[in-house]
Amino acid sequence: MRIGFIGLGGMGGAMARNLLEAGHTVLVWNRSPEPVERLVAAGATAATIDEAFATGVVLSMLADDRAVTDRLLDPAVLDAAPHGALHVNMATVSTALADRALRAHTDRGLRYVAAPVFGRTEAAAAGNLVVVAAGATADIDSVRPLFDVLGRRTWIVGDQPSAANLTKIFGNYLIACSIEAMAEATTVIEAGGLDPVQFLELLTDGLFTGPIFAGYGAMIGSRSYEPVNFRLPLGFKDVQLALTSGLEHNVPLPFGGVLRDAFVEALAHGQAEQDWAAVTETARRRAGLA
């Protein structure tokens, strides 16, 4: 299949590479040139955004609502796209953005699917993501072979693209709550003179199994926040998206306020380039352990 891929950060670059290795022809665009150069060396073709859309099927993995709006909802870009072209937005964006994007595409005879993913950069590199898709059934079916390359399973959660984004936002909200819970618990363990690493190994051995507690628990217990799989500002963005969605549906999110303040404090202490598990340091600072 000949496709475009827009956004080659840690996740997008790994995903585009897997599509190349699966034999697809991939036209790539990124704001900075270095990721494009790496993908071109692997067999991709450098392209403009218009050229990526001209393939008829374009996947995008940009950072946030603003990036999607500026780059992909530009009326000039959408007006230039061929009739019937399909845009699969795989980023975590707001439900409001998803609704706006659907209208903008539909008004021009274009198709739009939301397909955000669960998984860190190593899962992206291994083709082991979980894809959460929503949109017209025929549109999703047409790109299922691409999803099968990128992930181990695709969940279809509705025919409105915003359904996929709401699902992803609150999946990330649960991850953030888990990180904060581990941060608080290990801070008390440390303050009590015990070993946070052993504590988390004990709990993830049987009680809290799975990649979230095991993976982030290892980072939190050892206070080692590299490699950076998901930057702290992106985690903050997703907490904000959850709080906004809660307001839209009249659902209070008390934990969300706690998370928001913890992330703000971490950013205020210069942790923007760290993994979001580094929000643990907020709990430690508050306890006088930093």
pTM equals 0.95
Convert the pLDDT of each residue in 247-279 to its tens digit: 999 999 999 999 999 999 999 999 999 999 999
Into how many domains does the chain fold? Answer: 2
127 and 174 together in one domain: no
What residues contact 214, with CB distance under 8 A and at least 6 apart? 204, 208
Task: Please indicate, yes or no, whether residues 213 and 138 belong to a single structural domain of this protein.
Answer: no
Per-residue pLDDT tens digits for 163-200: 999 999 999 999 999 999 999 999 999 999 999 999 99
**How many Å apart are CA 132 and CA 47, to the nearest integer?**
27
Same domain for 81 and 210? no
Q: What is the CATH number of the domain that holds 176?
A: 1.10.1040.10
Q: Tell me the residue range of the domain where 247 lies.
A: 166-286
Pairing of strands 111-114, 45-46: unpaired
Are 140 and 194 in a shared domain? no
Local structure of 170: helix, strand or coil: helix
What DSSP designation does 276 have? G
Instruction: Tell me the per-residue pLDDT of 1-39, one tens digit each, with 9 for 90 and over.
Output: 999 999 999 999 999 999 999 999 999 999 999 999 999
As a whole number of angstroms, the distance between CA 258 and CA 61 comes to 28
Angle at 67 between CA 99 and CA 168, to 5 degrees: 50
Q: Are 23 and 144 in the same domain?
A: yes
Q: Say if residue 70 is in the same domain as residue 171.
A: no
Q: Which residue has the tokens 């929000």?
A: 279
Tens-digit pLDDT profile for residues 68-84 = 999 999 999 999 999 99
